[in-house]
Chains A and B, each alone.
Chain A
C-alpha cells in the first residue's frame, strides 16, 4: 500500500500574544515541533505499512526549516519525504495551502491513501485535509476513529458523527483525517536517526509544479484576508479577589449562595 502523510511544523508553544499598546505579536522563543495531531496520522500509516506492506511518504509545506519535521518522520519510520517550499507560497490561507499541497502530492507518484491529522495546533481549522481531497478529486472521510479492514480496493473505517458512530467503506484512492488516539504514536528511534541522518529530502518550489500560475499560490491565491489582529476583549466588570485560601473559599461560597448556585 502506498501512503502519503501530510505533516506540518508548528510553534512549540502556544504562548503568542499581542502587545496591547504596540499591536505587535509576541512569540516566546522560536522552538518548533511536529504538529501533535500529525503523529497520529503518521503512526496510522506506519501500522498499515507494517501489516500490509508498501511505503510511507511524508509531505510538508513550509520554510526550509520545516525539513526538521520530515527528519523526525524518518526517525519514526517514514520512507521518503518531500518539502514544498517557495517564498511565493507566503501568506497562504487554507485554500492556497491545500492547492499547494495537492500540487505537491501530484509530484509524488501513485498513492492509495492520504492520511492527515485532525487539525493543526496553530491554525486549528481542520479544513486542509478535505480541501486537498477536493483538489485531487478523491473522496475523504474525516474524524476517523478506527481502521477496521483493508482490502486491495478499499478501506473500512469507523468515523465520528454528531450523534452516531458510523462504519463506512471507502474505495482507494482516498483521504482520511484521523482522530487523536487512533493509535499510540511511537517514539522516534535513535537507530533510525543515525541511519537516516544523510537521507535526502527532496525540496520542490513553484517552478516544479504542474500548475505554475503564481496567482493560485500564496497570498494571491488566498481568498481570505486578515484585516486586523487584536488582543481578545477584556471583561470590563470583573472582580479580582486576593487573600488566604480559607478567606477565598468563604468568599466564593458566599457569592455562589448569593447567585443561588448553592
Chain B
C-alpha cells in the first residue's frame, strides 16, 4: 500500500509536459504551476520508472499486517447446478493441487447445495483432500445471500489462504460478493496462477482492455480470491482410489434468508456450443459484409467444425453472442482454430490461445494475432478462403455443391 507523492519543487513546464505525455491514462494534470494526479491513475508507476527523475515518488504507507500463517489451504468452489458439477471445478482442483504442493497446503472443496453427497464423492477422485458440504434445502438453487453466507461460515472456520472460483455466471456473481464481505482482493479471469513462498498468489491476466498482461498480488489480505474461466487450466486424470474425506458442515439456517425467489428453471438448449468444438473457424473484422460471413460458415462446414466470431462481429449483430470468443465471450481449447481477418487483441487471444493448432490469416503483417499463431498466413481472406474451401472439398471428395448451408440466424 502506498501513494504517489509529487515533489512540486522539481515541477516545471518541461517536466510537467513530459509526465503528462508519458501517463497512458491521462491522470496527470498541471495547473497553476502545480502537478496533480487525478482519479484516472491506475498506479502503473510508469511516471516514476520512465519520467524525469525524482519528480514523482512512491511512498509506502504503514499498514497493519495480516498474519498470513493463520491462513492455510487452497479452497475450490464446487460450481454446480442441482448437484451436476461444472467441469471447471476439476480443472481448478488440478491447479490447486499444483500450487498446494509448493507450500504444503491441503486442497479443500466448498460445496453448498441440496442432496449433494453423491456428487461430493466424485471430487475425491480428482484429488481433493477434504470436501466441505453444506447440504440444505435452502441451498438447492443458487441464490446470492445464502451462498455468500456459506462462504462466510467456511472462511471463518477453515481460514483458507486462497479460494479459486470458476468464472461461470454463478462464480462471477458469487466471488465479488464474498470478496467484498471480507474486504479482500479478487482477480477476475486469471490465465496463469502461481504461488510465492510466503503464500501470496501470483495472478496473471490480460489488463486495461488491451494487449497487456498484468501480474497481480494480494499482499496484505486473506483469503485471496481469484476466478478462472473454463478450459484455461487442465483437469487432472480421474483416479480410482481416493484419499480425501467428506465433511458435512452445519450452520445457522437463519443465515439462509433471502430476498430472491427462484420461480422457474428452464434448461438451455445446448446447440452449437463452441466451447466443446474441436475445430473452429473464427470470423474477424476483415469480413466486410454480413453476407460474407458465409466464408466462415462454409469453411467450418467443409472442415466439420463450428464457427465463431470476435467482439466487433457480435457488436455488429452479425453473429450471436454465444459464438463470441474472448474475455467477454467464451474460452475455447479446440484442436484446430483458423482465424479469418482477426487482429488479435489480448481480449480475444486470452480466449483461444491454448488451442493445439492456430492458423491465422490476416492482411496486416503486424497484426497481433501472428504472435499467438502457429501458422501465420499473410494474405487476403477473400483471395485465400474460397480457394481453400474448394481444395478441401476436392480432398474430401465432396464433388459439386455442398448442401446449401443455411446461415444460422443471429438470434438462436
* Chain A residues with a Cβ under 8 A of chain B: 10-11, 14-18, 22-27, 30, 36, 61-65, 85-87, 89-95, 98, 118-131, 133-135, 138-143, 156, 159-171, 174, 180-181, 215, 218-220, 222-235, 237-246, 248-253, 255-257, 259, 261-262
Interface string of B171-215 (1 = CB under 8 A from A): 011111101110111111100000000000010001111111111
Complex CA gap A40/B259 in Å reads 25
The reply on B102 being an interface residue by CB < 8 A is no
- Whether the pair A62, B186 counts as a contact (CB closer than 8 A) is no
- Whether the pair B176, A139 counts as a contact (CB closer than 8 A) is no
- Whether the pair B303, A261 counts as a contact (CB closer than 8 A) is yes
Q: List 9 A-B contacts (CB under 8 A).
A: A90-B41, A94-B179, A124-B206, A131-B177, A224-B186, A225-B219, A227-B202, A231-B213, A252-B375
Complex CA gap A238/B370 in Å reads 8
A-side contacts of B291, CB under 8 Å: none
Q: Which of B63, B174, B258, B328 has the most CB of A within 10 A?
A: B328
- Whether the pair A130, B376 counts as a contact (CB closer than 8 A) is no
* Chain B residues with a Cβ under 8 A of chain A: 1-4, 22, 24-27, 36-44, 46, 49-50, 61, 63, 79, 81, 84, 86, 141-145, 148, 168-170, 172-177, 179-181, 183-189, 202, 206-221, 258-268, 270, 279, 303, 315, 321, 327-328, 335-336, 345-347, 349, 357-359, 361, 365, 370-380, 382-385, 387-388, 390-392, 395-396
- Whether the pair A163, B267 counts as a contact (CB closer than 8 A) is yes
Indicate whether A232 sits within 8 Å of B206 (C-beta atoms), given known contacts A30-B26, A141-B260, A219-B3.
yes
Query: A36 to nearest B CB, angstroms?
Result: 7
- Whether the pair B26, A134 counts as a contact (CB closer than 8 A) is no
- Contacts between chains A and B (CB distance < 8 A), count: 351
- Whether the pair A130, B185 counts as a contact (CB closer than 8 A) is no
Indicate whether A163 sits within 8 Å of B268 (C-beta atoms), given known contacts A133-B177, A239-B375, A253-B391.
yes
Indicate whether A86 sits within 8 Å of B258 (C-beta atoms), given known contacts A30-B26, A133-B177.
no
Decide if the interface of chain A is mainly helix, strand, loop or mixed: mixed
Complex CA gap A249/B375 in Å reads 13
B-side contacts of A162, CB under 8 Å: 79, 81, 86, 168-170
Query: A82 to nearest B CB, angstroms?
Result: 14
A-side contacts of B395, CB under 8 Å: 253, 257, 262
Complex CA gap A126/B211 in Å reads 19
Complex CA gap A220/B59 in Å reads 11
- Whether the pair B61, A165 counts as a contact (CB closer than 8 A) is no
- Whether the pair B84, A163 counts as a contact (CB closer than 8 A) is yes
- Whether the pair A225, B216 counts as a contact (CB closer than 8 A) is yes
B-side contacts of A256, CB under 8 Å: 303, 336, 392
Complex CA gap A232/B168 in Å reads 24
- Whether the pair B357, A230 counts as a contact (CB closer than 8 A) is no
- Whether the pair A87, B208 counts as a contact (CB closer than 8 A) is no
**Residue of A with least CB distance to B411:** A181
Indicate whether A124 sits within 8 Å of B327 (C-beta atoms), given known contacts A14-B347, A87-B36.
yes
- Whether the pair B169, A238 counts as a contact (CB closer than 8 A) is no
